[in-house]
Amino acid sequence: MLVNTPAIVLKSFPYGDTSLISRCFSKDRGKISLIIKGARSKRSNKAAHFQPLSYIDIIYNHKQNRELHLLSKVNYKEYWPGIISKLHTVTLAMSLLELTEKTLSFDDPHPQLFYTLRDVLKKFNSENSDPNLLFWFYECALLSHLGFRPSLENDKFPGLDLPDLKEGSNTFAILASLLSGELSNLPPETPTIKDRKIISEYLWMLLCYHFDGLNNVKFIEVTKSILSVKTQK
């Protein structure tokens, strides 16, 4: 069955002498793996489409009960060069891709989460929003869409000692705003250093509690340092 869907490239790696395998988050089919035959040959320009953070439109041959599908056609939808212009934003953006890749199941569509990731990356690109708040917003969306929306009033989990949200001056209000699910309504409060540390630890601990393997996220130590220490625009 041919599927035509927008997708965001999460990761890619070589396959054989000239081909490429790409893991993508697609709107219509969720997380998918594509084989792009000949993408690394000198006569092909397809490899450029499958760099992480690429927002593309794909047509591929989807086969039931298979994890690997054959790409038929690809085109760019949008370019986001502003993301890679700063180490701060590209580190946070790459961490979001890794979180998405490690938490989603194959062939399990989450179209609203897909649009949330797209919109967060677009805002990273525009440099008009606080990138730390955008990162936390997506973490909240990821938890919510995958069935683990946190209740700020109930922070008791077996074997998990979450930070006290009352220790930060604006922590509770900021998290409540982020959990509203409205990207246009990012919290007006400026997070203090204490707020940043608590929010970063709180969301990361919840993600690790609900999903296995997140301690292997490449960018996580740098990301936690960025989120906890200072905000840059």
Higher-pLDDT residue of 150, 224: 150
- pLDDT level of residue 87 (50, 70, 90 thresholds): confident
Q: What angle do CA 218, 212, 194 make, to 5 degrees?
A: 65
What is the reported pLDDT for 231? 54
22: pLDDT strictly greater than 50 = yes
Q: What token pair was written down for 153?
A: 């009033």
The pLDDT of residue 233:
47
Q: Angle, nearest 10°, between helix axes 131-145 and 171-178? A: 60
Best CATH choice for the domain 2-78 from the list 1.10.10.410, 3.10.180.10, 2.40.50.140, 3.40.30.10 = 2.40.50.140
- Asked if residue 42 has pLDDT above 60, the reply is yes
Q: How far is CA 128 from CA 31, 35, 233, in A?
A: 29, 36, 7
Boundaries of every domain in the chain: 2-78, 83-229
Q: Using 50, 70 and 90 to split pLDDT, how confident is the model at 229?
A: low
pTM of the model: 0.92
The pLDDT of residue 227 is above 80: no
CA distance 16 to 210: 35
- Burial class from Cβ neighbours inside 10 Å (0-12, 13-18, 19+) for residue 137 reads buried
User: One fold for both 2-78 and 83-229?
Assistant: no
Task: Name the average pLDDT for the chain.
Answer: 90
The per-residue pLDDT for range 100-129, each reduced to its tens digit, is 999 999 999 999 999 999 999 999 998 777
Give the pLDDT confidence of 137-150 residue by residue, as tens digits.
999 999 999 999 98
Q: What is the pLDDT at residue 226?
A: 76
Which of 3.10.20.30, 2.40.30.210, 3.30.565.10, 1.20.1440.120 would CATH assign to domain 83-229?
1.20.1440.120
